[in-house]
């Protein structure tokens, strides 16, 4: 008899499908099987495939936005808990009015769960802002914004979402920029019932993206291009064994991932003190009554 726990894992910049725990009771042999995979095998275009370009034999993906269309892609399967990361090089120069997004989404309409990175374009010379948001059981409006402390269009940087039963951590180059804790015990919804796919899009949103919509997109600068590589998805694929997502032996459920390390905590405090430019928890015009998760600690 064999038991399989399908995971997707990155190795050397390419994707690997890891079939773990092929356990044969007769011989007590543990088998670890793997296959190299390309972008085409694990992702699909969701919007305007003609604007998606494959570079370096598919190891790097270019998304393009012009006046005719933006574009996007998504994973072919959904995942339940784990870690997702991508290296992204954002739109350079005058990118005002553009949004480059990397997110997880349950694709379940009004009761959706969603974890968002949205990179808001800027006028040349202004800092790039990344907006994060968390939807749980259909409720969102939990935006926070951080001005990045480097030029994210000059080179690739790693953007990561860690999602386990204890918390969700958004990180930039191993610097946590947001932590959303599981406070269900205090009546705060937490995404744990629905698997989510991995998505990315590049699109025009000049009605809100840059300075609240005051800065409009300059189409004379088009096309706008963003680049992706080193996709890394480690989690329980759905459909798959139901026991996988509740298995406490999954590495992302381990003690080292239940809270930030001392180094991560110091980096998190530095980001929060120096680079947060908007936090819905502090926005009394939108929330006269402080949302419960803000009081419970995020």
- Is the pLDDT reported for residue 37 higher than 80? no
Q: One of 118, 215, 234, 293 is an active-site residue; which one?
A: 118
Residue 4 counted as domain residue = no
Residue 22 counted as domain residue = no
Residue 274 counted as domain residue = yes
Q: What is the overall mean pLDDT for the chain?
A: 87
pTM for this entry = 0.87
Q: One of 114, 215, 234, 293 is an active-site residue; which one?
A: 114
Closest CA to 138 of 105, 176, 186: 105
pLDDT tens for 70-112 read 999 999 999 999 999 999 999 999 999 999 999 999 998 779 9
The verdict on whether 118 is a catalytic residue reads yes
Residue 270 counted as domain residue = yes
pLDDT the model gives residue 297: 61
Share of the chain above pLDDT 70, in %: 86
- Is the pLDDT reported for residue 12 higher than 70? no
Task: Please count the other Cβ atoms lying within 10 Å of the Cβ belonging to residue 241.
Answer: 15
211 or 142, higher pLDDT? 142
Number of domains in the chain: 1
Residue 16 counted as domain residue = no
C-alpha distances out from residue 128 to 123, 171, 275, 291, Å: 9, 16, 11, 27
- Is the pLDDT reported for residue 195 higher than 80? yes
Q: Check residue 66 and report its DSSP letter.
A: B
Average pLDDT over residues 121-132: 92
Residue 32 counted as domain residue = no
Torsion angle, alpha carbons of 291, 292, 294, 298, to 10: -130
Range of the domain at 257: 39-295
The verdict on whether 114 is a catalytic residue reads yes
> Residue 248 is part of a domain; what is its CATH number?
2.60.120.200
pLDDT tens for 236-284 read 999 899 899 999 999 999 999 999 999 999 999 999 999 999 999 999 9
Place of tokens 């402390």: 149
Residue 268 counted as domain residue = yes
The strand pairing partners of 235, in sequence order, are 82
- Is the pLDDT reported for residue 52 higher than 90? yes
Instruction: Please report which confidence band the pLDDT of residue 44 belongs to, taking 50, 70 and 90 as the band edges.
Output: very high
pLDDT the model gives residue 42: 86
Residue 194 counted as domain residue = yes
Share of the chain above pLDDT 90, in %: 74
């Amino acid at each position: 008899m064999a038991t399989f726990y399908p995971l997707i894992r990155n190795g050397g910049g390419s994707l690997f499908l890891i079939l773990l725990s092929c356990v044969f009771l007769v011989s007590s042999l543990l088998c670890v099987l793997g296959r190299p995979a390309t972008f085409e095998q694990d992702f699909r275009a969701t919007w305007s495939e003609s604007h998606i370009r494959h570079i370096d034999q598919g190891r790097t993906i270019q998304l393009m936005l012009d006046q005719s269309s933006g574009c996007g892609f998504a994973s072919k399967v959904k995942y339940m808990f784990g870690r997702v990361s991508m290296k992204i090089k954002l739109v350079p120069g005058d990118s005002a009015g553009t949004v480059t997004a990397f997110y997880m989404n349950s694709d379940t309409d009004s009761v959706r769960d969603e974890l968002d990175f949205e990179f808001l374009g800027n006028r040349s010379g202004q800092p790039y802002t990344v907006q994060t948001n968390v939807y749980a059981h259909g409720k969102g409006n939990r935006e926070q914004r951080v001005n990045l402390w480097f030029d994210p269009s000059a080179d690739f940087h790693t953007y990561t979402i860690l999602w386990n039963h204890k918390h969700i951590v958004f990180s930039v180059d191993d610097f946590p920029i947001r932590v959303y804790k599981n406070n269900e015990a205090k009546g705060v919804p937490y995404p744990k019932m629905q698997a989510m796919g991995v998505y990315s899009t590049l699109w025009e949103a000049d009605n809100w993206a840059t300075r609240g919509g005051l800065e409009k997109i300059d189409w004379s600068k088009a096309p706008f291009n963003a680049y992706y590589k080193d996709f890394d998805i480690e989690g329980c694929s759905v459909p798959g064994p139901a026991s996988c997502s509740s298995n406490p032996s999954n590495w992302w459920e381990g003690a080292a991932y239940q809270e930030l390390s001392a180094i991560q905590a110091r980096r998190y405090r530095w980001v929060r003190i120096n680079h947060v430019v908007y936090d819905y928890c502090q926005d009394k015009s939108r929330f006269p009554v402080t949302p419960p998760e803000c009081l419970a600690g995020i």
